[in-house]
Chains A and B, each alone.
Chain A
Amino acid sequence: MLIAAPAQSPTAVRLENVSKSFGTSATPILAPLDLTVEAGEFVAILGPSGCGKSTLLRLLSGLASPSSGRITVDGHPPGQGDDLAYVFQDATLLPWLDVSANVETLLRLRHVPAAERARRRDDALALVRLSDRARAYPRQLSGGQKMRVSLARALATEPRVLLLDEPFGALDEMTRDRLGEELLAIRERQRWTALFVTHSVAEAVFLASRILILAARPGRVAHDLRIDLPYPRNQDTRRDPSYLRLVADVSARLRAVDPEAASPAA
């Protein structure tokens, strides 16, 4: 079930001089921004609130349009290709559909034929290890399970670019760590480029091959860091001295960017 992304364009996401303002406000949410993400990168985005992290994802997904500049996602303008999937902060499952139908929702919107839909649904549920809960309704699931269904719904579209907006933010730390490990394991089998917004430095360092630290007012890239820890990463990575050093280093940089951050981000 290994799904190889066809080598199309090596650049997954490109922003050229992109800015975003709301209304007539003097300070833009995002200052003119240039950013290139290559296919296969796992980019974590950190930054104080108001730095435009979520706005950036909404621009990439086509839910919002930039005030200026040009965006391409896998060669298309945002919101035009079928190769992007979005995992929201909340699981956003439809409560009246069971797990199986929830995973199929986006495929149904795209008129994917039933047989193909079923295959992709089963594959995605297997990836998040919830095959045995296919008939359950969302309210019967734990927070972590709901988020895994939400992830499966995105993965079922077989995306080349996956946008994740603090997907594990509402979960307890153990669940969050385990889901992080699962996410990386899934990525070994289904290669996509990830842009992952988070508040957790540890999570960012553990997952990402590259970390962007944004500064606020206006939103801009303050640091663009490579994380050279080798993949596959697992529980042992969290005890690796170089991992711990990176967490400390990134935390310090984040605090420097965000003077209001009183407590060290965990």
Chain B
Amino acid sequence: MNPRVLRWLLPLVLAVLLLAGWQALHQSLPPSRRFLLPGLPQLAGAFQVHGPALLVAARYTALAALGGFALAAVIAAGFSLLLASSGLVRATLYPYLMGLQMVPVIIIAPILILWVGPGAPSVILVTFLITFFPLVVNTTQGLLSVDRSHLDLFRMGRAARWQELLLLRAPAALPYFFTGLRIAAILAPIGALTADYLVGSSSGGRSGLGITALLFSARNEIPALYATALVGCVLGFALVAAVSGLSWLVLHRWHDSYSPSDK
């Protein structure tokens, strides 16, 4: 069969199989336990009932995730250039960078609320904290992983340090930056959702998927919880797809990961 068709067909076949398996699992449970794994009709019902509310919440979470993600990407790019500029800077700042990632979000969430207020600002800040680290680590790695021979070329050409950084290291780091972006794209919606759960504000209809999940959970609406989780997944997929598209635009002409012989 045409491999191009297969690339689309196989994931679809798997999706159908998974859904069938899900439904079979649901029906194999004793009726008293079936609420733990709602059947497909119940799920569809939950979407029908809560669809509009989920959409509003998803939009809110998506915007917060995007905000934190974009903020992290821009600051991480600058911060990585700083880290790559000297070993001394790296040795000085790296422990604190790791510390930033190790801060338990659950514990500092209430403090963040006090700092920047409840709702969107806190959610964006938490998303930023969660996505910043993988971005910086990958980008810095890329800035430092430059071909020895390319460095010789630039030294031969008596390049200034800024020329080496911007004309050689930065473009060489782009594939690494996009790897970081991809990881961050997966983490961002989860971060925004969790943050909303922890520090979100339900006042004035400005609540995201986290608050929504909290409410469903309190009301014991299991199918609606599943639906919420699914919407969260879709957000992650959408962001990853956007990053992949951007990565293709920037890299496909030259980077080996888009080599035509690979297709």
Contacts and interface: CB of A to CB of B under 8 A. Distances in A.
Are both chains from one complex? Answer: yes
Interface of A: 61-63, 79, 86, 88-90, 92, 94-97, 105-106, 108-110, 137-139
Contacts of B163: 109
B157 interface: yes
B219 interface: no
A104 to B, nearest CB: 11
Interface of B: 147, 149-150, 152-159, 163, 167-168, 171-172, 174, 253-256, 259
Given A94-B168, A105-B157, A109-B157, 5 more contacts: A88-B149, A106-B153, A109-B167, A138-B254, A139-B256
Pick from B147, B150, B168 the residue with the most CB of A within 10 Å: B150
Given A94-B168, A96-B174, A108-B167, A79 B158 contact: yes
B152 A95 contact: no
B155 A63 contact: yes
B149 A96 contact: no
A94 B156 contact: no
Contacts, number: 52
Contacts of B168: 94
A65 to B, nearest CB: 12
7 closest A-B pairs by CB: A109-B157, A92-B149, A106-B157, A96-B171, A96-B254, A95-B254, A109-B159
A62 B153 CA distance: 12
A90 B156 contact: no
Nearest to B147: A92
Contacts of A97: 254
Given A63-B152, A88-B152, A90-B149, A95 B157 contact: no
24 contacts: A62-B156, A63-B152, A63-B155, A86-B156, A88-B149, A88-B152, A88-B153, A90-B149, A92-B147, A92-B149, A95-B255, A95-B256, A96-B172, A96-B174, A96-B255, A97-B254, A105-B167, A106-B156, A106-B157, A109-B154, A109-B157, A110-B158, A137-B253, A137-B254
Nearest to A90: B149
A224 to B, nearest CB: 27
Contacts of A95: 254-256
Given A79-B158, A108-B167, A109-B158, A92 B255 contact: no
Given A95-B255, A96-B171, A110 B150 contact: no
A45 to B, nearest CB: 18
Contact of B156 (A61, A89, A137): A61
Nearest to B154: A109
B261 to A, nearest CB: 10
A105 B163 CA distance: 11
B166 to A, nearest CB: 11
Contacts of B158: 79, 109-110
A5 B159 CA distance: 25
A249 B240 CA distance: 65
Contacts of B255: 95-96
